[in-house]
Amino acid sequence: GVLQLVSAAAFVHLEQWSFYHAFYHCIVTGTTVGYGDFTITTQGGRLWASIHMILSVCMLGELFSTLDTLRKERTVILERIEQLTRRLDKGLLDKVLGHVRVLRPDAPVDALGVTNVEFALAMLLELEIVSMDQVQPFLLQFCKLDENNSGRLCSDDLHLTHTMSTDDARKLRSFGSSRYATSLKKSQTLPAPPRAELLA
């Protein structure tokens, strides 16, 4: 709006148009319509018209980009609200269990189901707030830090880190990482067990 008003004032001065006609010309040019019903005759007017067209097109593109970003953000917010107000059903449970199988492929998803942390992470994956490519490096790091291969990080892991030799620690960490990688590969290639079997 400000750009078009300033440009109209410039055309009034350079082309001796009325402000109404100058503003009309700026709006038509700025929206890339360009009827061609006004002809710029002065050198200064042509120079300013070139600057005005470049700025108008850039600002119009930025406007469309901003509107598209707002549309996508609104879609994401609505999806989050839908998931947060959703009741537990078979579809939701199957999706959560599917993500959890990838998160901990070496541990069966049994009748105990999933923990609150696993559920939260599975929902973040489902809503595509985070991706598995972002999560997997931390799972591999966990396996490396889990010195006793217990599946939990505790003071025993810290004690082993300081008491084991460097070579032994390296071998154990390598074993943990390879074990996770192998389990992950199996979980991605083998068909998922039936839901009835998981909850049996």
The reported pLDDT for the residue numbered 164 is 58
pLDDT at 191 over 50: no
| pLDDT single digits (tens) 70-79 | 999 999 888 8
Higher pLDDT, 182 or 11: 11
The reported pLDDT for the residue numbered 37 is 81
- Of 115, 72, 111, nearest to 123 by C-alpha is 115
Its pTM stands at 0.48
pLDDT at 131 over 50: yes
The reported pLDDT for the residue numbered 188 is 45
Query: What amino acid is encoded at 144 in this protein?
Result: K
The pLDDT of 127-146, averaged and rounded, is 84
Long-range contacts of 98-107 (CB under 8 A, 24+ apart): 98/192, 99/125, 99/126, 101/187, 101/192, 102/132, 102/184, 102/187, 102/188, 103/135, 103/139, 105/180, 105/183, 105/184, 105/186, 105/187, 106/179, 106/180, 106/183, 107/151
- Of 21, 25, 44, nearest to 34 by C-alpha is 25
pLDDT at 48 over 80: yes
pLDDT at 163 over 80: no
d(CA 143, CA 157): 11
- Cβ atoms < 10 Å from Cβ of 140: 17
DSSP 98-122: HHHHHHSTTS---TT---HHHHHHH
| Residue percentage of the chain with pLDDT more than 90 | 14
d(CA 194, CA 197): 5
Higher pLDDT, 144 or 124: 124
pLDDT range class, residue 3, cuts 50, 70, 90: confident
| pLDDT single digits (tens) 5-29 | 999 999 999 998 999 999 999 888 8
pLDDT at 68 over 90: yes
pLDDT at 121 over 50: yes
